[in-house]
Amino acid sequence: MTVLSGDVLAGKIVFISGGTQGIGAAAARTAAACGAAAVVVTGRRPEVAEAIIDELDVLGTEPLFVRADVADVEQAIESVLATVEAFGRVDCVVNAAGFTERGSLLDTTPEMFETHVAVNLRAPFFIMQAAVRDMLGRSAPGTIVNVGSISQHAGTSYLAPYVAAKGGLASLTRNVAHAHRSDRIRVNCLNIGWTATEGEDVVQRRFHGAVDGWLDQAGRDMPAGRLGDPAEIADMIAYLLSDGSGVVTGSVIDWDQTVIGGQG
């Protein structure tokens, strides 16, 4: 549960792509707990969305699920437009949808590369475009947080297309933040490290042969004795969405226990 004040997002309409599980779902819970008037989550599977919608309803926000495959740019844009249609505006955006299929420079197919770009870079681009157009049309401020990856600095050999897309997202964050700083639209990015999510469990079992107990073992090998916690990340997302983060914009923040460039 969030450690933030219960009203830091009071009255806000919060849109979260990929908000039905993992970091996106954690961000949705925290936004609701922080007083958001409405929380919109997108995803491809309504049956998965049912649980988070029920949780959000109990937390006192007005929840909405928009079925969307953000790899399809039209669906990505329409999900924002559906939010504006339902609630009259969008105040805060979290781009949390992600695609983590493994691929190296040598074995990545054009189709896999295109999907990485479509989900991890193109979707955030056009979701931001639609949201910023709404904000500008109302002459209203807004905040956006893009969920990036610590891997954008270089990453492992089997994440080549993912790294390419997330590296683009980091640069895109800075560009949009700079372009709209005078519009009072703030845009920041969190480079997330290894985090204990439902999706990560699937990835570890599918691609890396993980078995029951892998999470505890992985945690023991980390400096903090555990992997990252989605709830902690969600607190930081809510902080960056809120007025509490002040004038901060264009920041790409490493959220990990690995220190880039550290030696020994």
- Residue 147 pLDDT > 60, yes or no? yes
- Residue 140 pLDDT > 90, yes or no? yes
Clarify whether 12 is annotated catalytic.
no
Which of 70, 43, 63 shows the shortest CA–CA distance to 128?
70
- Residue 1 pLDDT > 70, yes or no? no
Clarify whether 239 is annotated catalytic.
no
Per-residue pLDDT reduced to its tens digit, 10-39: 999 999 999 999 999 999 999 999 999 999
Contacts made by residues 178-183, CB under 8 angstroms, sequence distance 24+:
178/250, 180/132, 181/249, 181/250, 183/132, 183/135, 183/136, 183/141
Q: Which of 162, 239, 242, 245 is catalytic?
A: 162
- Model confidence band, residue 4 (pLDDT cutoffs 50, 70, 90): low
Clarify whether 245 is annotated catalytic.
no
Q: Which of 17, 149, 151, 242 is catalytic?
A: 149
3-state SS, residue 209: coil
Specify the pLDDT at position 3: 54
Which of 14, 20, 10, 9 shows the shortest CA–CA distance to 42?
20
Specify the pLDDT at position 9: 98
Per-residue pLDDT reduced to its tens digit, 163-195: 999 999 999 999 999 999 999 999 999 999 877
Q: Which of 12, 17, 151, 166 is catalytic?
A: 166
Specify the pLDDT at position 6: 75
Specify the pLDDT at position 216: 76
Strand partners, 238: none
Domains of the chain, by residue range, sit at 13-193+228-253
If one counts every other C-beta atom within 10 angstroms of the C-beta of residue 142, the result is 25
Residue range 13-193+228-253 in CATH 3.40.50.720: yes
Per the structure block, which two tokens stand in for 190? 């969190």
* Integer CA distances (angstroms), 84 to 25, 31, 128, 148, 262, in order: 20, 18, 13, 25, 45
User: What pTM does this model have?
Assistant: 0.92
AA identity, residue 35: G
Specify the pLDDT at position 188: 98
Give me the helices (H) in 154-229, please: 160-179, 198-208, 214-220
